[in-house]
Amino acid sequence: MHPINAYAAEKAKAPLKSFVIQRREPGPHDVVIEILYCGVCHSDVHQARDEWSNGTFPMVPGHEIVGKVTSVGSSVTQHKVGDSVGVGCFVDSCRVCQPCKSHLQQYCEKGMNLTYNGVEKDAKTPTYGGYSTEIVVDENYVLRIPSNLPLDKAAPLLCAGITTYSPLRQWKIKTGDKVAVVGLGGLGHMAVKLAAAMGAEVTVLSTSNKKKDDAMRFGAKNFLNTSDESVFTNHANYFDFMINTAAGNIDLGKYLSMIKLDGTMVCVGVPESPGSLNASALIMKRRSIAGSLIGGLKETQEMLDFCSAHNITSDIELIPVEKINEAYDRMVKGDVRYRFVIDINSLRK
């Protein structure tokens, strides 16, 4: 065990500041990763501020981790020293339940071991995330970053990328499908790029006109400013599929009215408080509403390889760790273009 520089919220809502953690001694199946970049997900904000009421503190957030392998345990076969690798939202799971056996570790019946705000396999040692200089992870939970992807811009793929890729695949989005993306933030901008690469006709539903040019650059065909009420009637029954990435509550019934017969809205955003829905918004056009949680390891690797083939990465603002509290505040205001990524070298002082 040796001390590792990190940044932590010492208690709920406290600003993040410098903090020292210990990592476990690597075992035979472990990979030691020198962290180079870590993306900043809105879930980091929700959890550091305990908006989901499940926070354990001190908390070192960060689950969009990329770096280089610096050493491997004696039994490791999938990674070697010098490899570019990534770690997403979980670092282990039970491995024996049906979801785990079906490559759906995120739905592990025992509960996945979250990268932070969780516990290690011993069920008691707290896990600490990627706002830190080093992490030790079992090789089976480490992803390969394809060599053509720049590491800083690839970091957000580990959460924002897979969280939007997985439902697009699950609902079999294909050429010509009319896909709506609600909210153009970290997840939303990845949803636009991925759905466009799958051939969909993508429309962004955003709360202002500010992000219109960017949306079109990411591959959207249409952009609708939802502060203009007429967009809901003008596009009634229009979309095959809608992915809701909003970090706050939206009027679900109004957005559902834009979905056609048998279409689906998949919610991936997790607002602090529950929303409400009148069943008639579903009944009248046999619409569905569903949810989706990140993605399994196999699908995450598939997503990284898809991004490699289509040259897709995140649009980022690279920040030193000292700017993290400011970044959180900007994110809450929707002022993010389109993912903050921490340059972890700023923690190596």
Name the residues that contact ligand NAP, by CB under 6 A.
41-43, 46, 159-160, 163, 183-188, 206-207, 211, 245-250, 268-270, 292-294, 331, 334, 336
In the complex, which residue's CB is closest to ligand NAP? Answer: 185
Closer residue to ligand NAP in complex, CB, 26/295: 295
Q: How far is the CB of 222 from Zn ion (least distance, A)?
A: 27
What are the residues whose beta carbons fall under 8 Å from the beta carbon of 34, sequence distance 6 or more?
A: 67, 68, 69, 70, 133, 134
Q: How far is the CB of 212 from ligand NAP (least distance, A)?
A: 10
Closer residue to ligand NAP in complex, CB, 79/189: 189
The 3-state secondary structure of 44-77 reads HHHHHCCCCCCCCCCECCCCCEEEEEEEECCCCC
One DSSP character per residue, 188-212 reads HHHHHHHHHHTT-EEEEEESSSTTH
C-alpha to C-alpha distance for 252 and 246, rounded to whole angstroms: 11
Residue 97 contacts which entry, Zn ion, ligand NAP, none (Cβ below 5-8 A, type-dependent): Zn ion
What are the residues whose beta carbons fall under 8 Å from the beta carbon of 283, sequence distance 6 or more?
A: none
Q: How far is CA 285 from the centre of its chain?
A: 31
Residue 324 contacts which entry, Zn ion, ligand NAP, none (Cβ below 5-8 A, type-dependent): none
Tokens found for residue 115: 């990268």
Q: How far is the CB of 184 from ligand NAP (least distance, A)?
A: 4
Q: Coil, helix or strand for 332? A: helix
Tokens found for residue 340: 């903050």
Residue 94 contacts which entry, Zn ion, ligand NAP, none (Cβ below 5-8 A, type-dependent): Zn ion
Q: How many residues form the binding site for Zn ion (CB under 5 A)?
A: 8
Q: Which residue has the tokens 């699950």?
A: 170
Burial class (CB in 10 A: 0-12, 13-18, 19+), 14: middle
Residue 211 contacts which entry, Zn ion, ligand NAP, none (Cβ below 5-8 A, type-dependent): ligand NAP
C-alpha to C-alpha distance for 6 and 58, rounded to whole angstroms: 11
Closer residue to Zn ion in complex, CB, 64/240: 64
C-alpha to C-alpha distance for 275 and 101, rounded to whole angstroms: 33
If we measure between CA atoms, which residue out of 41, 18, 15, 3 comes closest to residue 341? 41
Q: Do residues 251 and 265 touch, judged by C-beta distance below 8 A?
A: no
Residue 183 contacts which entry, ligand NAP, Zn ion, none (Cβ below 5-8 A, type-dependent): ligand NAP
Choosing from 16, 60, 65, 100, the residue that interacts with Zn ion (CB under 5 A) is 100
* Positions in 143-172 near Zn ion (CB under 5 A): 159
C-alpha to C-alpha distance for 261 and 238, rounded to whole angstroms: 9
Closer residue to Zn ion in complex, CB, 43/206: 43
Is residue 94 near Zn ion by the rule CB under 5 A?
Answer: yes
Residue 93 contacts which entry, Zn ion, ligand NAP, none (Cβ below 5-8 A, type-dependent): Zn ion
Closer residue to ligand NAP in complex, CB, 156/263: 156
Is residue 268 near Zn ion by the rule CB under 5 A?
Answer: no
Q: How far is the CB of 302 from Zn ion (least distance, A)?
A: 18
Tokens found for residue 65: 């981790």
Is residue 41 near Zn ion by the rule CB under 5 A?
Answer: yes
Q: Which residues bind Zn ion (CB under 5 A)?
A: 41, 43, 93-94, 97, 100, 108, 159
